[in-house]
Each structure stands twice: as structure tokens, then as C-alpha cells.
Structure 1
Amino acid sequence: MTDVQEAYRLLVADVYELAGTSRRTSEAIAATTGQTSARWHVLSVLSGGPATVATVARRLGLARQSVQRVGDDLVADGLVARHDNPDHRTAPLLALTGAGREALTALVARGDAARARVLTEAGVTARELLDCRDVLRRLTAALSASP
């Protein structure tokens, strides 16, 4: 084993830990607005425009069925609407409603405030985060290209 392989394993372990901690804190933030982090994630994806459940699931790396359940709940609560999909008759498009945009705006505002405190406490810079992101994206691309 080389130093770079060991460093990679340590990085991956830390990424998993960060992701888990971030999910837990996101869940707590979402709860303050009567939402869940799953609903927040779907709303965030739909903020980029209408999408099918399958598209949202791929983007989030989740099973289509779990996104379907969340989407159904968001529709029932009036935060998301279903629209005909001209490209696929049986796969409607999900789109944010005005109430959905308001809910997402509230979630983002609370999340940004909480994350600002964390980033200040951690003493990280935007450059450091962007450099980290670059490394993670290169690793993801290389892993995706591997058999």
C-alpha cells in the first residue's frame, strides 16, 4: 500500500463522517421549518426546473421509490405540482409551486445561517473548500470511469 492509497482511504472515511454529520444537522435545521432533509433535497433539485421522479432520484443517488414517496407528500402538501411530460406520457414532471419556493427559501436561509457559524468556527476559506471540491470531483470522475 502506498501513501496516496492510505490518504485516499482516510479521506473517504472523513467524507462519510462529514456526510453523516451534515445529514443530522440538516435534519435538525429542516425540522425547524416543519420539513425533513429528504423533502429539502427534492425541493432543491426541483429548484433547477421541472424533473421526473427518476431524474431527481438519479441526481440524489437514491432509489426512485423513496423519491416517489417524498414527491407524493410534497404534492399533497402543495409544495410541488405534477405536470404532463411531453417526452414521457407515464412519467409526469414535478415542479415547485409558489409555496414550495417559499419553503425552500426558508430552508436555505436557515441552513446558510447555521453553516456560516460552522464555517467560521472551522476557520476554512472559500479557496480551501473549492480546492477540496475539485479533488472530490476528480476522484468521482475517475471512479465513475472505472469498471
Structure 2
Amino acid sequence: MTKREQELLSAAALTAFKLNGQFLELAEHLARPAGLTATWWQVLGAVLHQPLSVSAIAREMGITRQAVQRTADVLVDRGLAEYHDNPAHRRAKLVALTPEGRAANSAIGPHHAQHARQLSGVLGEDQLADAVAALTKLSEALDALELSD
């Protein structure tokens, strides 16, 4: 690895860490009026279209299975999600939205649309799409790395 490659890896990581913080702050801002936290919204969003196991949610969101399990339990306790039997695995239940969870998730929509318009206005839609494509490509490249001790 050249010095430049090391600098680029560090710069990419530091920028991603900053972006993560910025997106979490935005997510908290968007979720709060709907009575959610960013974490709750993240898990509800993962099962918006279909029920998933806790492990599948964790893989999709890039967070630990334990963190998803704790969050799913809270969402179930609050009536925003429910557990369903999983035909593929007896012990691994599926997390699914309840009507209350779907309503809470939907309540975020107008605010989300407003912030999407603002961000697109700052960057321009094409540049925002290019940024998303670059971030996706970077994520895929990181997935392809062989991490060894």
C-alpha cells in the first residue's frame, strides 16, 4: 500500500464516520415527531416491505444482531412491530410491522421529502445520484475486502 492509498483510506473512513453522525442526527430529527428514535425507524424501515429475521435486519443495516434484537423487542413491546413464525427457521422469528408501526413510519414521510428536496437543491439531483452511486460502490468494495488478523 502506498502512502497515498493509506491517506485515501483514512480520508474515506473519516468522511464516512462524519456522514454516519450527520445521517444519525438527521434521522433523529425526522423520527422524533413520529414518536420514534433513529434506531427504531431503521429497524421498522428494514421490514417495511416484508418481514425479516433479526439476523437479516442486522446484515442489511450493518449493525449487530444483538442491537437489532433489543430494538425489535422494544418495538414489539410498544406495539409497533410483532413477531411471526419463520417457516425457514423454527427459532428465528420474523419481525413484521403492525398497523401502528406502519403509521409511525409513514408519519416521517413529509418531513423526509422536505429534507430530500433541500439536499437535492444544495447538490443538484444528478450530483446527489452520483454521490449515492459512489457510496454504494465503496460499500461493495469494502464488502469484498478480505479481513484477516
Measured at CA, do residues 118 and 135 of structure 1 come closer, stay the same or move farther in structure 2, by a change above 3 Å? closer
Aligned to 1:62: 63
- In structure 1, list runs of 5 or more residues that go unmatched: none
Rounded Cα–Cα distance in structure 2 between residues aligned with 1:144 and 1:102? 34
Distance 1:108 1:5, change over 3 A: farther
Which has the larger displacement, 49-58 or 109-118? 109-118
Q: CA deviation at 1:10?
A: 2.8
Give me the whole-angstrom Cα distance separating, in 2, the residues matched to 1:111 and 1:78.
23
- Percent identity over the alignment is 33
> Which runs of 5 or more residues in structure 2 are unaligned?
none
Q: Which residue of 2 aligns with 1:53?
A: 54
How many matched pairs? 145
- Cα distance between partner residues in 1 of 2:6 and 2:133: 18
How far apart in 2 are the matches of 1:11 and 1:62? 20
Q: 1:29 to 1:137 in 2, by over 3 A?
A: closer
Q: What residue is the counterpart of 1:113 in the other structure?
A: 114
| Structure 1 segment 1-147 matched on structure 2, within 5 A | 1=2, 6-120=7-121, 123-147=122-146
Q: Distance in 1 between matches of 2:112 and 2:140?
A: 28
| TM-score, normalisation: structure 1 | 0.86
Check the 8 A contact 2:31/2:41 in 1, yes or no: yes
Secondary structure at the aligned position of 2:107 is classed as helix
- Could you list the per-position Cα deviations for residues 25-68 of structure 1 after superposition, in whole angstroms to 9, with x for gaps in the alignment? 21122122211000000010001200011111111111111111
RMSD: 1.9
